Structures are given as structure tokens and as C-alpha cells.
Amino acid sequence: MPNPTPTLNIISPKLFPDKVWNESEVLGAITWLWYQSPVHRQVDIAEMMAYVLPVLKNGQFALFSLGVQPIGYISWAYFDEVAEVHYLQSDRYLRNNSDWNCGDNIWIIQWFAPLGHSHQMRYCCPKCDYRTWLYHYPHFGGTAGFEQRLTDANRFSRLPEKH
């Protein structure tokens, strides 16, 4: 008898506020995911916590699992124009929890699928209209970032420069 396909589970306090979740389990899953990435594995635990704990406290994340196996997560912030400028200069701006909810512009802070499951994450959540969300990539790796808007399910496109 073939094994059944595991169920895709989503834990997201902002998207599914009635679903019970455990902060310790989510932290463990996100930590495990970080250590699947060669780049993120280099980050020490204190630095990782500085990125992850505000996400958990604000509930602005979606953790995706196939059965009990974590496959990825996304986190987002609601910025005003001032917060956008600060964030584009440095992601350290997000260390203050109040900075996550200061405006109406939705920014994807992390889209993290180190095992290659971005496709499932993108299509499985009907409450997420990613086409209207902004994304800044990357802060890790020392490369200069740039703004992008998810314009359809298959690609990113560069935003026009603001004058």
C-alpha cells in the first residue's frame, strides 16, 4: 500500500488566528530550517534570535510543514514610508518590535525555503495575495539589496525607481 502524501500544514497567527500554536515548537522548526541553509548556518544563535524572536512575538509569519516536517517560512512587516527607507538601509531596524506594524505597506522580510519548497508555499495559502507585497533581497551575504514586487506566481520584477 503506497504511503499517503503528507498534509501541508500552515501555522500563522495573523492569517489563522483561531489555530492554536506553540511558540517553542515554531522556534525549533525555524531554527532547524536556518541550519539547513549553508549561509544561515554561519549566523550565531544570538544573531538568529534577533531576527526570529520579533517574528514570533508579532505573529507575522507563516510556517509551512509537510506532515510534521518543516519546509519553510515567510515573515512580513507593515511599513510606512519612513520605515521602508530605514529597512532598505539596514535590516537591523527590525530589532524593535514596534517597527513591524507602523504602516500599510506589506513587506516580505524572509521567504525561506532551504529545501526547495517555495512553489508549495506560494500556492497553498489563499489568504496571501503575494502580488501586492514588497520584497527586499538580500541582507545576508553582503550583496546590495534591491526592491522587488511579486507580480505573478512565477517571477519577481523590479520596481520603478522613486523620484
φ, ψ of residue 6 to 5 degrees: the values are -65, 150
What interhelical angle do 23-34 and 45-58 show, nearest 10? 140
Whether the CB-CB separation of 61 and 74 falls below 8 Å is answered with yes
Q: Map 101-113 to HEC letters.
A: ECCCEEEEEEEEC
DSSP code, position 141: T
φ, ψ of residue 2 to 5 degrees: the values are -70, 150
Which residue, among 132, 85, 139, has the nearest Cα to 110 in the 3D structure?
A: 139
User: Residues 40, 136, 139, 163: which is the catalytic one?
Assistant: 40
As a whole number of angstroms, the distance between CA 123 and CA 129 comes to: 10
Does the annotation mark 136 as catalytic?
no
Annotated catalytic sites, by residue? 40
